[in-house]
Chains A and B, each alone.
Chain A
Amino acid sequence: MFFQNSRRNFIKTAAVGTLAPLSIPQIVAAASASSKTRKIKLEKDDVILFQGDSITDAGRDKATLTANTLKALGTGYAFLTTADLLNKNPDKNLSIYNRGISGNKVYQLADRWDVDCLSLKPNVMSIMIGVNDFWHTLTNGYTGTVEVYKNDYIKLLDRTKAALPDVKLIILEPYFVNGIRPEEAKWHPTFDSYQQVAREIAEKYQATLIPLQSMFDEAVKQAPPKYWTPDGVHPSMAGASLISHAWLDVVKS
């Protein structure tokens, strides 16, 4: 479906040696290629956990805790991704959970990690965390620094690896989309250092990195920033679908 047009374009352009503008799946492919993504293979009976902040949470029902359950997945990228994984892998008996919580920073993940991660024994754990670690220094008087973010993140992953030595990690780079928020200048370059930390940590733990900033940077060349995120931080439907495609691109069924 996705390549209906682009396939033809590729063929046509390949012949004449020029390339058509990037379509979204190509944005995902291009960004993944540049980061030499480690692909993750899904196995039978895998438990997959989405962890993070509001972007992951996306309105999930906190009272519904069972796997693969509609209300428990919210309406964001975790939900879209789960639907596709379940649809495409009917033979694998996957159990998929979302435990993102709005507003969370790394230390708040740590506070609830036993219940909301380790006890679920995920085989594949996906984390997107970091935007609040920075943002709340602007809005909520939070005093944590990028060093706090880094140290907390490392501690969290050390603890995770100790409890679940075989867990496959997926780290989603925190992103911020320029051209929307009035205080945008205050985000740079400090927020960039948080992104750098997330990338370094992915490398340190041999995690699969999903370079969301590169993807949103490409996406805003194709449609206005607000098409992808109404507030620079939280994705629109189109933005959530973009993140979901990026996520699905790193797993092999």
Chain B
Amino acid sequence: MINLFKNSRRTFIKNSSTALIASLAIPEIVSSAFAVAKPKKITIQDGDVILFQGDSITDWGRSRTQTDANVSAGLGTGYPIFAAGEILNKNFEKNLQIYNRGVSGDKVFQLADRWDKDCLDLKPNILSILIGVNDFWAIAKHGYTGTIDTYRNDYMKLIDRTKKALPNVKLIIGEPFAVIGVKEVDLKWYPKFNEYRQVAREVAEKNDITFIPYQTIFDEAVKKAPGSYWTIDGVHPTIAGASLMAHAWLETVKS
């Protein structure tokens, strides 16, 4: 953000007259992560309802009683609030409504259980989903018996149901990610966890859905600072990590 504001109006005009256009100051980590596959951009339109869905990474301390759109307590303190702040700040003419309905601990089938109330009823025009780490993690942690096939089938069913109810919804799927070497995440996660990442990508590709490669982004980030700078336990992002995710998310939308 900082770099974007340094150049004054005058500088832009000067640059444009000489056709010297400064490079877009997308955070370097985000831009290199998207270098391989550019995200299919989603256009934010007047009156859009934007919904963030997922597990604790999305939830991140949101108030269950503040259910109105665009309210800071209702947005939690993770990547959705940073993304929402930016979207609202930049799209003041669009009358947007932004909700967070992430719930800590959720796996795909638990999203499905609350999908009518926490998704379809809100009639989102843009729906962002980040789900999958618990579908894997809960196997070792809580004796959950779901498999990779359960994850795939549940996820495909959820997307089908969503598209049936909301034929014009624009979807964003975030890749489940983990940072190895930070607390909860060790070698035992691999290679199994990679299958969950791959399935999320497949679900996105099969349905022509915009995909955010969060794992690639965190892989790039740990080249700049230790894993513990970006995630508190290998799974949940720090403030810096959540801000990084929001920047990646914002790369998928056009205002």
Contacts and interface: CB of A to CB of B under 8 A. Distances in A.
Nearest to A246: B5
B26 interface: yes
A25 B71 contact: no
A253 to B, nearest CB: 6
Contacts of A252: 2, 6
Given A87-B244, A249-B2, A70 B88 contact: no
B243 A87 contact: yes
A4 B254 contact: yes
Interface in A72-125: 73, 75-76, 79-80, 82-84, 86-88, 90-91
A18 to B, nearest CB: 11
Classify the secondary structure of A's interface with B. Answer: helix
Interface residues of A, number: 55
Nearest to A223: B92
Interface residues of B, number: 50
Interface stretch (B74-82, B107-115, B156-164): B74-82
Contacts of A219: 92
A40 to B, nearest CB: 11
Interface stretch (B51-59, B184-192, B221-229): B221-229
A23 B26 CA distance: 18
A5 interface: yes
A238 B85 CA distance: 6
A14 B12 contact: yes
Contact of A29 (B9, B24, B84, B89): B9
A79 B78 CA distance: 11
B221 A248 contact: no
B251 interface: yes
A82 B239 contact: yes
Interface string B1-35: 11111101100110011000100101100000000
A68 interface: yes
Interface string B218-255: 00010011000110000000111011101100110011
B195 interface: no
A249 B251 CA distance: 21
27 contacts: A1-B4, A1-B251, A3-B12, A3-B24, A4-B254, A14-B12, A23-B90, A24-B90, A29-B8, A33-B9, A68-B238, A68-B239, A79-B77, A80-B81, A83-B82, A83-B242, A84-B2, A90-B225, A237-B71, A237-B75, A238-B88, A240-B85, A241-B86, A241-B89, A245-B5, A248-B1, A249-B2
Given A87-B244, A237-B72, 17 more contacts: A1-B24, A1-B26, A2-B4, A10-B9, A10-B12, A14-B12, A14-B16, A29-B5, A83-B82, A83-B240, A90-B225, A237-B71, A237-B88, A240-B72, A245-B89, A248-B1, A251-B2
